[in-house]
Chains A and B, each alone.
Chain A
Amino acid sequence: MVWAIGGADAQPGRVHQQIAQLWSEENPDTPIRIEVLPEDADGQREQHALELQAEGSGFDVLGVDVIWTGEYSENGWVESLEDVRADIEAVTLPGPFNSATWGDELWAAPYNSNAGFLYYRTDLVDEPPTTWEELCEVGAEVGAEEGIAGFVAQGAQYEGFVVNWLEYYWSTGADLFNEDESAVTFDVDAAVEVTEWMNDSLGDCFAPGFNTAQEEEARNEFQAGNAVFMRNWPYAYGQIQDDEGSPANGNFDIAPLPTFTGTGTISALGGFNNAVSAYSNNTEAATDFVVWAATDPEVQTLLAEESLPPTMASVYDDLAGDPVMSLLGEVLADSLPRPPSPAWNEISVEMQRALFPAYNGDADAQSAAESVREYLESTIQ
């Protein structure tokens, strides 16, 4: 069998490879092999699309980003997993489980989850900030004293920018759609406020090169000791901790992301689910594999050990003493999914097209926000 999943070689400890090996040892009749897809989500989706559009049976198990569920099921690319729903639902966290459903039907088995953390330098800052304004004030001030930047995050024009922007936007209390995605609740004023705040922070609290940075550029900056704060996924924790030459090593901690309201935390839910390709010739074994990966404590603990957040609730209880896992449990409870609409990719591209130039000062924030609202409305009519 072939498991087409992204970034398999870039994962800490090559954890996907470890899991594939574990399965192949236990099931010598139906071994699984990883087809390594690109590291970035857009690239992975393209590879899937090319194979599935041609109805190719080359991929049996698909590593599906949480936002693709709607699209893949609408396209008939994945098998329904309703038959094994009970097994999976019983052990999985509710957020990740919902991300694998579309139209009340289960289309994938949760595999790993993800949420954003605020990384901060404990030798430079006593307490992590609770609001974004405070983060930028402290960041700019401490950064100027130390001759380093205030804040690094994912500010390049790609899906990660939309994730970061939504975390700011959601943390004002606003949302994109109502509960069942039947009406647009996009708040133009909040969007303008957030976008203008980003523009003001450019060149001040935001690190140089903020608008070309993805996950790895941000991590490199923070790990090299060039920033006070960083927004990133949990994977960075282990990497900085393992790098003994890093100025941040031993001098950093993680906290929930700040908000604009000053209360609680909001993170965009990330992660991958495993789906069975509708064109697979090994549907049965593939289904067994995805269920196993979602429900086997050994697999899920292996993910946790490599700082890739598992989706199995009991693993968080077992690892309550681990600082990353216990904070993750908290943050995941307050995380919000991007709308799992089949139109999500179009929405994301439109948001990038409108908001990215606005935050860089190349376009007007008001008209950018209005065009996003218009586009969202066009997707539900």
Chain B
Amino acid sequence: MSSAVLTTDRIILDGTARTREEAIEEGARLLEAAGAVTADYAAAMHEREALTSTYMGSHLAIPHGTNEAKAAILASAMTVVRYAEPIDWAGNPVRVVACIAGKDGGHMAVLSSLALVFSDEAAVEQLLAAPDAASVLALLGDVNDAGE
């Protein structure tokens, strides 16, 4: 079930967005294209962002919808978009934007591996330098397979 949450077509290494809003849109479109969310989800992501920044530290932000927007989620999915230049995320520099659509906790495994990768500086460097989507997925997948 977790293998379908993040796939190579949802990993983009050269994101085009320049602002936080654009990055959220970019991620939302990917989620929508994956059939994971309805068109309403993007608005909920902006709303959630306004509430508190989803900046996590270590160049990572994880935009997602509000608790009330769960109806807009069709399936669990995650996107990972990397940006060459840091995006200004409410005052923090962000290089990786992982948009999350979580349904019934199906996204937890990938989210956990994401957390483990981003709490380890060396792993962050590896991810920022990864040459292609497959190696990013491998980086996240490896951690996932190793369990907690």
Do these two chains interact?
A: no
Interface residue ranges, A against B (CB under 8 Å): none
Interface residue ranges, B against A (CB under 8 Å): none
